[in-house]
Amino acid sequence: MLYLKHFLIIIFFLFLTGLIEPASFNRLDLINCMPVHGHMLNSGPYRNKRIPNSPSFYFEHKAPLRETNGQVSQVFSLIFKDNDPDLMDVYFTEDRNPTIYKSSIKDGKVIIRAHRPTVFQLWAVARKGENTFIAHTNCMLFGNSKTKAERIIFFPKTPEAPYIEMQASKQPYWPQTGQEFIFRISSKTGFVRFALPTDLMVLSNNKVFALKSYDRLRYVYTPAHDQYLRKAGVRAGRNDILFTQLREADHCFNLTHTLYVHRSRTAFENYAIGAAVFGASCFFFIGWIILNRKRRTPW
Amino acid sequence: MVNRVRMICQHISFVLLIYGGRLGIHLGSSLPCFACPFVNGCGGHCYLMILQRSRVGFQVTFDYLFSRAGLEVLWPFVVFLLFFVPLSKLWCGWLCPFCLFQDWITMIRKKLGIREMIFSRKTHIRLRPIKYILLVLLILIPLCIANFNLHSDWALPFCRICPAKPILPMFAGNFTHFHLDFTNTVTLCFTALSMVITGGLLVGIFFKERFFCLFCPMLGLMHIFRRLSPVRFEKDISGCTGCGNCERICPVDIHEVHLENEKKDVFMQNCMGCMHCVESCPGDNVLSFKWFGFTLFSSSRNYLSLKRKQ
């Protein structure tokens, strides 16, 4: 009996450290990893003749880093499949402030720093021949420093360039798998002069899916749950790339938006089992106390 | 009389700390009592949560901790001291919402006529280090997350198993903390442990008055810094008859107050300043709570006889 108790404690500790997992977990993962897009056209790899099958220019989020002066920095990798663009600019805005700031690119990487809690919107514009590539993303950094982050005001040459914009989510906290996100093609002026594409594509976990526009202006995307994210921890994220192509005369705009999603905070919570464990625990301890109760010493 | 005033204070504090946020009142995040931040619209947070957090708590790298930015870890502690110093452990007996919840459960038990469970002195001595072990772990685990790649799902380790987390939000209509989280094995183990601990402590609270206070790391933390506070609990050894009323009436069965015959200071580590013992002491000025030398309340033969008549 004594050895059984020790054995159970060791097994529990191994579970707690994540070193071993019950087999049923993997089955649960398989169920929860099924795509949950509400407006998806295909469930498998998608091929559209008009839109390329993979994004060619996009941001990739890296893990944010807290610096010793209290600022928080976030590194983005700029992935560009066609090398050597003729022109490349990266700029960003802070919160709802309309001022546009320039960011420098070093070795294909962009670093954004925040000294206070800030929501950033980033754009990267590259040109090659008659192709314009516009990557967009947003992120929130919780800086807390008296040392202000340096900013260089910038006047972009293509402020009217269209991009894939994510509408503010009603869900609290950061973007999570299983939540619904609404996207639309937008431009800084709020006016889109281009014929809208019929499909918006998503590259997620090396699979390409197509999203249908439900009112010709907006697209709904629900990122699928991910076994890796579930195991990796609360701060781990996944880069889901939304992309499409717009054409105006001979000019072609390749748009991408990087959605950095974290694992769902509530999707895997089971209230019935929780209540059952709580109830079983209560019954166990009531029984244990009644059986082992000592009478109060008469004074 | 004192007990009635204490209950009134506890109820006012409960309303303030559980519903205060809905009235626009927020006393900050460094309160020395179990004001749970998981309560929607609460009026203040428990300092233990801040201790475990990143940036303002101990979930930071050693580089950060020993840099200028590391002073941010010190700031909530200063605020904690500002709250703690004037009242010391009276926070527990007079203002803690979770203690009031325990008192309600005890009242139900007494109404039902069920006898209290008793622990031997040996058991009490064995249980004492648990609160300090929990306190050390809730500092060490966040440090290990930030510095030694411990899985990030270990973040806020004490909050994950704290019984106040599922219980107190119920008073704000939130029952969602009674769950098992199947995200991964770490979250599953923590939530299962939380449910087992909550169930066990709830039963324990029913059968033993102030049962959770025997394990409360906040009480341990406050006991470490009790000397900074002007609140003193003193015993006049020459006047003590050794009747043992103080031990019998004590909700956490402190026997040292009864047995102490050398030191004046009897503010023991499990003592939360409920003043039950002072009320029940038949000796004049034998037990007294003092604040900067000024007597807040002291035992009196007349008070006890009046109380018995009531």
pLDDT in tens, B24-66: 998 988 999 989 999 988 999 999 999 999 888 999 889 888 8
**For residue B190, pLDDT beyond 60:** yes
Q: State mean pLDDT over B109-131.
A: 89
**How far is it, in rounded angstroms, from Cα A155 to Cα B252?**
69
Q: Are residues B32 and B142 located together in one domain of the fold?
A: yes
pLDDT in tens, B143-158: 999 999 898 899 999 9
| Domain extent listing, chain A | 37-262
pLDDT in tens, A14-38: 666 665 655 444 434 433 333 334 3
| pLDDT tier at A13, thresholds 50, 70, 90 | low
Q: Are B21 and B41 in contact (CB under 8 A)?
A: yes
Q: Are residues B151 and B263 located together in one domain of the fold?
A: no
Give the pLDDT of residue B293: 85
CB atoms A68 and B68 under 8 Å:
yes
Containing structural domain, residue B118: 2-221
Q: Are residues B141 and B267 located together in one domain of the fold?
A: no
**For residue A77, pLDDT beyond 50:** yes
Q: Give chain A positions within 8 Å (CB) of B182.
A: 25, 28, 268-270
Q: Are residues B250 and B217 located together in one domain of the fold?
A: no
Give the pLDDT of residue A216: 65
Rounded to a whole number, what is the distance in Å from the CA of A73 to chain B's nearest CA? Answer: 14
Interface check A228 vs B, CB under 8 A:
no
pLDDT in tens, A126-150: 888 888 899 999 999 988 888 888 8
| pLDDT tier at B100, thresholds 50, 70, 90 | very high
CB atoms B152 and A233 under 8 Å:
yes
What is the residue-wise DSSP string for A190-210? S---SPPPSEEEEEETTEEEE
* Domain final residue pick, B201, B221, B241: B221
Q: Are residues B281 and B181 located together in one domain of the fold?
A: no
What is the β-pairing status of strands B287-291 and B231-235? Answer: antiparallel
| pLDDT tier at B306, thresholds 50, 70, 90 | confident
Interface check A47 vs B, CB under 8 A:
no
Q: Are residues B243 and B113 located together in one domain of the fold?
A: no
Give the pLDDT of residue B38: 92
Question: At B268, which CATH number?
Answer: 3.30.70
Give the pLDDT of residue B66: 87
Which among A26-40, A43-57, A191-205, A276-290 has the top mean pLDDT? A276-290
Q: Are residues B61 and B194 located together in one domain of the fold?
A: yes
Count CB-CB contacts under 10 A for residue A229: 24
* Domain final residue pick, B221, B256, B286: B221
Q: Are residues B142 and B202 located together in one domain of the fold?
A: yes
* Domain final residue pick, B221, B240, B261: B221
| pLDDT tier at A157, thresholds 50, 70, 90 | low
pLDDT in tens, A211-226: 877 776 788 888 888 8
**How far is it, in rounded angstroms, from Cα A76 to Cα A58?**
10
Q: Are residues B45 and B168 located together in one domain of the fold?
A: yes
**For residue B117, pLDDT beyond 60:** yes
Read off the pTM.
0.83
The count of domains in chain B is: 2
- Residue window 119-138, chain A: list those with CB within 8 Å of chain B: none
Give the pLDDT of residue A55: 85
Q: Are residues B28 and B100 located together in one domain of the fold?
A: yes
Q: Which two tokens stand for residue A231?
A: 């195991």
Classify residue B299 by its DSSP letter.
Answer: -
Interface check B264 vs A, CB under 8 A:
no
CB atoms A268 and B192 under 8 Å:
no
| pLDDT tier at A156, thresholds 50, 70, 90 | low
ipTM of model: 0.91
Q: Are residues B161 and B288 located together in one domain of the fold?
A: no
**How far is it, in rounded angstroms, from Cα B271 to Cα B90?**
9
Q: Are residues B210 and B172 located together in one domain of the fold?
A: yes
Q: Give chain B positions within 8 Å (CB) of A296.
A: 115-116, 118
